[in-house]
Structure 1
């Protein structure tokens, strides 16, 4: 598969097969993904992997965090259970964390670098037939969730990556042609 085919073919994955994702697989992709451009080679990232071993406990914390935010109507136990079942079916999670530099220009450079890393990671996994959903729900800012993951003050969660082999691959949605978005100085 060419780089162009991988970029155009990659899709966010919402539904996953039961096939486990191992820490070794993720480390293999990360070893290449860390070659994302990052100013001064600061490498402003760290990762928290949740696989088969910690998935049950982590899923409970994630679901509890989302419920605490009031995502579900009071008493709607069926919706809560549906979400619990969905989260517990995800084979693996990777939390991507960045130190928050107080200097706005460095903070922005770091966010861009970490975002480039996440895109690299998604493309590398996709090349191996593994999909991801880059999730940035409001729960990533909630103190209960941050404490459960030992996210320190001065750290930002860039995303919670849901990882697994796709149960389905959604069709390509059209994009605007670059010519529509390009102006000349």
Structure 2
């Protein structure tokens, strides 16, 4: 059995999705760029770098939330305003969609790796992140608001904010329980 865990293994095990309880502390563009400039080292086939980013800083969050809630039906707007007002900032990840299935899947895998890198690097800086893929990411009105072009996909909204409370650890199934060995 392994005696000690590496620094990166500790970060992987300690990271939590921060879904609420964000502080009012500003999330700066400088912080986001610092994290992204490391996160973009994610593996990606052919170095296609199939991503781009839309940052909604803390200073623009209220205006963004008001614009975003207008894309929802009137009966949902108060609920969505409350929901989207909780994070201190947002990072929207936009992915290049390739019409070829293999390349599309490679691109999505690369974007997913980039998001995981971002989450781990943010955690190291005590910046909370949760990756959200709610139905609004498919809404044509949201795509228009964010200037998402044909041939692009919103891979998710990253809700961002500093936090005080770390969520409880939720157990994971051991790899041994999920592993099969060919030939056995």
Q: Structures share a fold, TM > 0.5? A: yes
2:39 and 2:117 in contact (8 A); partners too: yes
Deviations 1:159-183 (A, max 9, x none): 1000111242111100001000000
CA distance in 1, matches of 2:68, 2:14: 29
Match of 2:175 in 1: 178
2:163 paired with 1:157: no
CA distance in 2, matches of 1:83, 1:103: 35
Which stretches in structure 2 are left out of the alignment for 5+ residues? 1-5
Matches within 5 A, 1:75-90: 80-81=77-78, 83-90=80-87
**The residue matched to 1:120 in structure 2 has which SS?**
helix
2:133 paired with 1:133: no
Match of 1:24 in 2: 30
- State the 1:55 CA deviation: 1.2
CA distance in 1, matches of 2:60, 2:48: 30
Matches within 5 A, 1:67-146: 67-68=72-73, 72=76, 80-81=77-78, 83-146=80-143
- State the 1:112 CA deviation: 0.1
CA distance in 2, matches of 1:109, 1:95: 19
In structure 2, which of residues 61, 64, 88 is the aligned counterpart of residue 55 of structure 1? 61
2:39 paired with 1:42: no
**The residue matched to 2:59 in structure 1 has which SS?**
coil
CA distance in 2, matches of 1:9, 1:96: 24
Q: Aligned-residue CA RMSD in angstroms?
A: 1.7
Which stretches in structure 1 are left out of the alignment for 5+ residues? 73-79
2:39 and 2:114 in contact (8 A); partners too: yes
CA distance in 1, matches of 2:25, 2:89: 10
In structure 1, which of residues 140, 155, 166 is the aligned counterpart of residue 163 of structure 2? 166
1:93 and 1:161 in contact (8 A); partners too: yes
Q: Normalising to structure 2: TM-score of the pair? A: 0.90
- State the 1:53 CA deviation: 3.1
**The residue matched to 1:164 in structure 2 has which SS?**
strand
> Which structure exhibits the higher relative contact order, with contacts defined as CA atoms closer than 8 Å and separated by 6 or more residues?
1
How many residues end up aligned between the 2 structures? 176
Q: Normalising to structure 1: TM-score of the pair? A: 0.89
CA distance 1:100–1:138, change in 2 (3 Å): same
